[in-house]
Amino acid sequence: MNPLNRRLFLGLLGATAATVTVAGCAGTGGDDTSGDASGGGGAGGDAGTITFWSNHPGDSKAVEEQLIANFSQENPDLTVNLVDGGKNYEEVAQKLNAALTGNDVPDVVVVSDVTWFNFALNDQLTPLDDLFAEAGVDTSSYVDALIGDYELEGKTYGLPFARSTPLFYYNKQVWDRAGLPDRGPESWDEFLDWAPRIQEAIGDGKHAIAMYDGSNYLDWTMQNMVWDEGGAFSRDWEATFTDPATIAGVEKLKRINDEGFLVVSADSITEFGSGLAACAMASTGSLRTAIENAQFDFGTAFLPGARANSSCPTGGAGLAIPAKISDERKINALKFIDSITSTQSTAIFAQATGYMPVRRNAREAEEIRDYLAETPQAGTAIDQLEFTRPQDNARVFVPNGGTRIGGGLDKVLAGQDVRQVMEELQTETQQIIDTQLTPKLG
C-alpha cells in the first residue's frame, strides 16, 4: 500500500485576503502583541481571526507579512495573527503537538514533508477536499508533484508553500581551474572521477564537496545517492536498508568521505558560499543565501543521476489546518492559504527566498520572469521537478525516521561499519512500522 498518490508538473488561482498582527512566540523571539500568550485562538475561537504558525522558512518573515498585507486588502473583515512557531519545522510540530492537548490551536500551521503525516494519521489535521469548493479553491493549478505530497489514502491534508528540492551547486572558478565542463556531474561515478581534480583546484584545507550532516537533512539528500544505485530506505511499508543496492549507495557516501573529498555541516551552503567547498548538495531554499554570500560565479545543476533515474527528492513545507477548529474557521483558513500560495504570491515568495513556485503558471508572472532573468540558477529546481519522486516512507512517515536515518549516516561517516548500521536501522524501522503504523493503516 502506498499512501502517497504523487503526480507530476507545474499554474493559477485567485487571491483572497486580512489585517496583520505580528506576534512573537517560541523559536525566533519578538514581542507578543497578540494578547494570547499561547499564540493560539482556541478550538472554538474567533472566526474573524486567522492565527498562522510559521517558522518563516528561508528567513521569510518579512515576505510573509507582505503576503498577509495583500490578503488584508481583499478581506478587511479578517485579521491574520502571524506567530513565530519555532526556529525550524520540528519545533513547530512539537508546539502543535503540545497545543492539541488543549484548545489553543492555530488556524494555519506550517508542516514539513516529515511532520504532516503523523498528525494526519491521527486525525489531527483537516482533510481539505470537501472544503475546496466552499472556499473557492481550485487545486488544479498547483504543481502536481508538490500537492501530491500531502495525500494520504485519497485525502489531501495540506497545500504546498515553501517547497524545495536539493540542488547541486558548483563554483565555476574552481571548475575552470580543474578543466571541467560548465555543468554538474551526470552521475556520482562521474563526480568521483572529477573529485581529485576538484580537490586539487580548491586547495589544501578545503574540500571538493559539502553536504548536510546527519542532524540536518543528510537523510533527505542521501535518498538521491541511494536511489541512484537502485536502492531505497523502504519500498512502501517494507524497510530496505539491508538491500545490497541501498548499502552500495551508503558505501559511495563513505568513499567520498574517506578519500577526503567531503565536509559535512549543519548547512552545507555555508561552506560553499564561503569558498571552503567547491560544490555542495543543498536545498533550493538556500539559493538566496548563496547569492548573497558567494564572492564567485556559481552554477546550479540537477543532482547527479537525477535525469537518468528520476532520483531527486522533493522537500520543504506546506500549510495545513488543525481538525479541531470550527468549520467557519477552516473555510477562512483555507481562503488564506489559497491567497498566500496563489500564482502572484508564490512568485513573490520564490523571488524573496529561493524556494520553488508552487503554481504551474508562476513562470509567467512578471516577478518570476524578472527573477529568472537575473538569477538563472533558480530555473534549475523548476526544471528538475520532472525528475523527482516520492520520498521513502521510512524517512517521511515512520515516526522520527529522518532523525534515525541521519544518526545512522553520522555513524557511518564516523567510521562505523556500513552493514552493521544498516542492519540496526532495518530492525528498528520495521518494528516501528509493524507495531505503530500497520495497525492504523490497516
Q: What is the pLDDT of residue 348?
A: 92
| Residue 376: partners with Cβ closer than 8 Å, 6 or more residues away | none
Percent helix, strand, coil in the chain (nearest 5)?
45, 20, 35
Whole-number pLDDT of residue 27: 27
CA distance 32 to 22: 8
> What's the pLDDT score for residue 208?
98
Q: Which residues of the chain have pLDDT under 70?
A: 1-45, 442
Look up the pTM and report it.
0.82
The four Cα atoms 247, 248, 252, 258 give a dihedral, to 10 degrees, of 60
DSSP state letters, 186-245 = SSHHHHHHHHHHHHHHH-TT-EEEEEE-TTTTHHHHHHHHHHHTT--SEETTEE-TTSHH
pLDDT tens-digit map of 265-315: 999 999 999 999 999 999 998 998 999 999 999 999 999 999 999 999 999
Query: In whole angstroms, what is the distance from residue 83 CA to residue 423 CA?
Result: 42
pLDDT score recorded for residue 442? 66
- Residues forming a β-bridge with 20: 80
Beta strands in 287-362 (DSSP E): 298-301, 312-313, 315-320
Contact 406, 214 (CB under 8 A): yes
Residue 46 CA to residue 326 CA, distance in Å, equals 9
Q: Residue 15's pLDDT is what?
A: 29
For residues 226 and 422, give the distance between their C-alpha atoms in angstroms, rounded to a whole number: 12
**Quick one: pLDDT at residue 369?**
84
Domains and CATH numbers, the chain: 49-163+315-364 (3.40.190.10), 166-313+389-440 (3.40.190.10)
Q: What is the pLDDT of residue 395?
A: 96
Phi-psi region of 86 (alpha: psi -120 to 50; beta: other; left: phi over 0): left
Helix (H, G, I), strand (E, B) or coil at 158: coil
